[in-house]
A and B are shown apart, each in its own frame.
Chain A
């Protein structure tokens, strides 16, 4: 019955005006954002479960957390009502492998090294299947060492255990490539039902429900509205256009582009399909959320929700993600519910997803892993520091075929293409769509931001050029 209702809701022709989360206030509020007592959990860490939900490929602006788009996402919005909602969270990369691993290790992709499925071996002479270096610890390992029992229910592909995601987990589901929460949800809920009362849990729940390689459920047809174009919104078509866009990269500095292969109407249709998937994903996530609440886990746990990257629908000439680091691919939802938190806290400042685990470790008194890039957000949430940790970076070495780096500073974002040294500068506050490149009209800012970005890369003591020219064609995805 539930499924039927869900299916009906998802095929409804026009979205009703759902109540979005209210506009975040950008003005910095003095004092604590959230009652510090709610975040001071070290003394009772033995009673606190950790649940991390990752809705892969979910753009912030389609979640319903963004007041500008009234998505029908009652569960995400319910989650927000008792959480710290970060309205401007940046993922460290624009695709799954490097981005989730940045969260797992609290290191930038270049620093954790898992920037592709296939990677140069230590001699740099051949490509081998990648896995996280043994000497780089992950936060799930750190929590496991402190007694949390890890269980992960994922959609495989970019978060497959073999990349190193499995470390610290005693249970790890990764048996269906691009699986959705319809696949990972039932075993996760069953595991939760069995273990909730017995053990202190670290539960990771993940699905590709909104990803271009995850189909709509059987029986759900794409909402065509007035669309009369040729697209069907399916996964084969999505892979085809993804690869086609990459063929536009012929010389260093070229961008992925579909040229005129798709029309704006095609893009709007695909975005509509995506929105359908978001609603379905919301319902699937909501099933677990209901269990968490019914079992009391919600009230005693830290429950965080994130995404690893967004998705492009022709905003910059292509569809899919990974090949660029514009905002539609980096701006993701991030929410943290602390035990006992009863009301929503809106944070407008820009934060980084790789600060998530250091924040949880800080709250729970778990020692931080040394030499990480992530920092706890708690000093900021307690009002002790005026701004969240920085610098705000992003990287993509997508399939060893593009080599992009970004630095966000205030309203400005600089994108550096390492393959040719080209830069673009945007005012993402005034121009959130990143359509006006300011690098020639504001050369001083472009220069200074580029040097700040490059200085950061130099500090990592890893040669940014080490991946350049590695692949003559995009290497396979998964």
Chain B
């Protein structure tokens, strides 16, 4: 029997109740992915601006992981990891243009549906759509306008909760919005909320879709051509190579091609990113208020996080794909609502990852994580059971791999991880720039200085771990059909 058929049936059919004898009833689950929210731009994460009043309020009575890392630095890869508990390179293809969450992969929603949950997803399109495999396991999938706002998901999500026919079943609600994606809020009521001083040319630039994709080393190249490609599922996606070719293009185009951002303009753009965070947080607040008004908040395990950050010029780029850094992968993570009393209002000193959400939520639902899922049950971790990872491994969309400890970050730039020699270069290539970079976050929290030369032993040790991690990941490359020689041999052996 085909998997797709089975799941359709089990999503539609009434599933048996959850929670056997002696186990607490399975909580409702709400998972909100505020796309592209960098942790330190939330007020909770240290931004002096009041960007996240709703998240802050939730966190006051919730469980906060101040050191939470997304598994990748782009929406498709990172959500694939968040919703399967596996690294993007083992979920789908190593080639971005054919990366989907395949039907063979077990997703969080599929597992929860099997455990009896009523499931629904309300996303803002973009990469988080059924066409990329994210609809698996959801009885209802609503994809709003591509790269739209969380705003459009709040009312339909609450309406879905109200309209469910079988109210005894626990619910899994996944809500995602692209509020913090560029262009930042042009035309939104939040547009100028945090603006200070003279915006210079920045207000005009902010309206352009290619603006933050076309900044290199603080210079904006308005004529830089962005290529759009067809993903194998038929969606148009931005050619990821544009992030790599911008420096070369800029050098060839000459000084006249670029517009250097003034400090005021840079500040203005950052203010608008902050305002985008406030927008996301505001609609999050409406959603949470809606749950509260229905008396559901305490019965719902609420998880608020993001799929990646945004460089905001920390490394010369502005977007999130150009590298694996704290700026692009450190995200907010708050668990609240139906969490153990002892964990309320706590901020454990533990590292959390996006891939921890699958084991965490499935443990809360009283079922098992899919085979091969990584990660840890964060509620157990916060309660002092088990240990966090010594090394966080990440897989970037442009072919970066990263090994991050409490102090160090080693990054390997493979260029193309799907290339036949990528693993060979990872394992045997010289441990030197520019392919490799080591950052000492203790002395260089923004990870700007490559200290590979000064700490070769540290780098070599982290590389060993990275090699072990990467080479052990199961990757189901489809087997080749028999060769002509095989066919001839089959004939020779013949049927007796």
Cβ-based interface call for A198 (8 A): no
Cβ-based interface call for B13 (8 A): yes
Interface centre among A444, A477, A478 (most CB of B within 10 A): A444
Cβ-based interface call for B1 (8 A): yes
Q: Assess whether A444 is in contact with B482, with CB atoms less than 8 Å apart.
A: no
A residues 434-460 near B (Cβ < 8 Å) are 437, 439-444, 446-448, 450-455, 457-458
Binary contact track A239-257/B, C-beta < 8 Å → 1, others 0:
1000100000000010000
Q: Assess whether B486 is in contact with A447, with CB atoms less than 8 Å apart.
A: no
Q: Which residue of chain B lies nearest to A251 when distances are taken between CB atoms in the complex?
A: B2
B residues 448-496 near A (Cβ < 8 Å) are 474, 476-483, 485-486, 489-490, 493-496
Cβ-based interface call for B9 (8 A): yes
Cβ-based interface call for B348 (8 A): no
Which of B108-116, B270-278, B382-390 interfaces with chain A? B108-116
Cross-interface CB contact of A447 among B1, B103, B115, B493, cutoff 8 Å? B115
Cβ-based interface call for B369 (8 A): yes
Q: Assess whether B482 is in contact with A439, with CB atoms less than 8 Å apart.
A: no
Question: Known: A126-B485, A451-B369. Contact between A440 and B13, CB under 8 A?
Answer: yes
CA distance A447 to B362 in the complex (A): 12
Q: Assess whether A467 is in contact with B479, with CB atoms less than 8 Å apart.
A: yes
Query: Which B residues touch A466, using CB under 8 A?
Result: 479
Q: Taking the nearest CB of chain A, how far is it from the CB of B483, in angstroms?
A: 6
Cβ-based interface call for A142 (8 A): no
Q: Assess whether B115 is in contact with A470, with CB atoms less than 8 Å apart.
A: no
Query: Which B residues touch A161, using CB under 8 A?
Result: none
Q: Assess whether B1 is in contact with A468, with CB atoms less than 8 Å apart.
A: no
A residues 393-436 near B (Cβ < 8 Å) are 417, 420-424
Q: Taking the nearest CB of chain A, how far is it from the CB of B246, in angstroms?
A: 38
Question: Known: A448-B368, A451-B368, A475-B490. Contact between A465 and B114, CB under 8 A?
Answer: no
CA distance A465 to B474 in the complex (A): 10
Q: Assess whether A444 is in contact with B16, with CB atoms less than 8 Å apart.
A: yes
Query: Which A residues touch B489, using CB under 8 A?
Result: 118, 126-127
CA distance A319 to B494 in the complex (A): 21
Cross-interface CB contact of A451 among B370, B474, B493, B495, cutoff 8 Å? B370
Binary contact track A92-125/B, C-beta < 8 Å → 1, others 0:
0000000000000000000000000010000011
Cβ-based interface call for B219 (8 A): no
Q: How large is the interface on A (under 10, 10 to 19, 20 to 34, 35 or more residues)?
A: 35 or more
Q: Assess whether B372 is in contact with A423, with CB atoms less than 8 Å apart.
A: no
CA distance A119 to B479 in the complex (A): 13
Q: Assess whether A420 is in contact with B2, with CB atoms less than 8 Å apart.
A: yes
Query: Which B residues touch A444, using CB under 8 A?
Result: 15-16, 18, 114-116, 367
B residues 1-32 near A (Cβ < 8 Å) are 1-3, 5-6, 9-10, 13, 15-16, 18
Query: Which B residues touch A454, using CB under 8 A?
Result: 370-372
Cβ-based interface call for B243 (8 A): no
Q: Assess whether B481 is in contact with A421, with CB atoms less than 8 Å apart.
A: no
Cβ-based interface call for B104 (8 A): yes
Cross-interface CB contact of A423 among B6, B476, B479, cutoff 8 Å? B6
Q: Which residue of chain A lies nearest to B5 when distances are taken between CB atoms in the complex?
A: A422
Q: Assess whether B490 is in contact with A476, with CB atoms less than 8 Å apart.
A: yes
B residues 346-375 near A (Cβ < 8 Å) are 367-372
Cβ-based interface call for A175 (8 A): no
Cβ-based interface call for B138 (8 A): no
Cross-interface CB contact of B494 among A239, A453, A455, A476, cutoff 8 Å? A476
Q: Assess whether B368 is in contact with A253, with CB atoms less than 8 Å apart.
A: no
Query: Which A residues touch B486, using CB under 8 A?
Result: 126-127
CA distance A477 to B496 in the complex (A): 8
Q: Assess whether B9 is in contact with A440, with CB atoms less than 8 Å apart.
A: yes
Cross-interface CB contact of B1 among A125, A239, A253, A478, cutoff 8 Å? A253
Q: Taking the nearest CB of chain A, how far is it from the CB of B25, in angstroms?
A: 14
A-B contacts counted at CB < 8 A amount to 120
Q: Which residue of chain A lies nearest to B17 when distances are taken between CB atoms in the complex?
A: A444
CA distance A478 to B496 in the complex (A): 8
Q: Assess whether A421 is in contact with B3, with CB atoms less than 8 Å apart.
A: yes
Q: Taking the nearest CB of chain A, how far is it from the CB of B492, in angstroms?
A: 10
Q: Taking the nearest CB of chain A, how far is it from the CB of B366, in angstroms?
A: 9
Cβ-based interface call for B174 (8 A): no
Q: Assess whether A472 is in contact with B1, with CB atoms less than 8 Å apart.
A: no
Query: Which B residues touch A458, using CB under 8 A?
Result: 371-372, 474
Query: Which A residues touch B367, using CB under 8 A?
Result: 444, 447-448
Question: Known: A127-B486, A420-B2, A463-B474. Contact between A443 and B113, CB under 8 A?
Answer: yes
Cβ-based interface call for A471 (8 A): yes
Cross-interface CB contact of B480 among A125, A423, A443, A447, cutoff 8 Å? A125
Q: Taking the nearest CB of chain B, how far is it from the CB of A470, in angstroms?
A: 5
Binary contact track A220-259/B, C-beta < 8 Å → 1, others 0:
0000000000000000000100010000000001000000
Question: Known: A421-B104, A451-B371. Contact between A439 and B479, CB under 8 A?
Answer: no
Question: Known: A126-B486, A451-B370, A458-B474. Contact between A472 and B481, CB under 8 A?
Answer: yes
Q: Taking the nearest CB of chain A, how far is it from the CB of B371, in angstroms?
A: 3
Q: Assess whether A127 is in contact with B478, with CB atoms less than 8 Å apart.
A: no
Cβ-based interface call for B87 (8 A): no
Question: Known: A476-B495, A478-B496. Contact between A124 and B6, CB under 8 A?
Answer: no
Q: Taking the nearest CB of chain A, how far is it from the CB of B93, in angstroms?
A: 14
Q: Assess whether B3 is in contact with A455, with CB atoms less than 8 Å apart.
A: no
Q: Assess whether A473 is in contact with B490, with CB atoms less than 8 Å apart.
A: yes
Q: Assess whether A424 is in contact with B474, with CB atoms less than 8 Å apart.
A: no
Q: Which residue of chain A lies nearest to B104 when distances are taken between CB atoms in the complex?
A: A421
Cβ-based interface call for B220 (8 A): no
Q: Assess whether B478 is in contact with A439, with CB atoms less than 8 Å apart.
A: no
Interface centre among B106, B111, B371 (most CB of A within 10 A): B371
Question: Known: A118-B493, A468-B478. Contact between A125 and B371, CB under 8 A?
Answer: no
> Can you list 25 A-B pairs, Cβ within 8 angstroms, ordered by A?
A118-B493, A125-B480, A126-B482, A127-B482, A253-B1, A420-B3, A421-B3, A437-B1, A439-B10, A440-B13, A443-B114, A444-B367, A451-B370, A452-B368, A454-B370, A454-B371, A457-B371, A458-B371, A458-B474, A465-B478, A466-B479, A472-B481, A473-B490, A475-B490, A476-B496
Please list the 8 inter-chain residue pairs (A to B) with the smallest Cβ-Cβ separation, ordered nearest first: A454-B371, A447-B114, A455-B371, A422-B1, A421-B3, A443-B10, A443-B114, A465-B476
Interface residues of A (CB under 8 A from B): 118, 124-127, 239, 243, 253, 417, 420-424, 437, 439-444, 446-448, 450-455, 457-458, 463, 465-473, 475-478
Given contacts A444-B116, A476-B495, 17 further A-B contacts (CB under 8 A): A118-B493, A126-B482, A127-B490, A420-B3, A422-B5, A423-B3, A439-B10, A443-B114, A444-B115, A446-B114, A447-B111, A455-B371, A465-B479, A468-B478, A470-B479, A473-B490, A478-B496
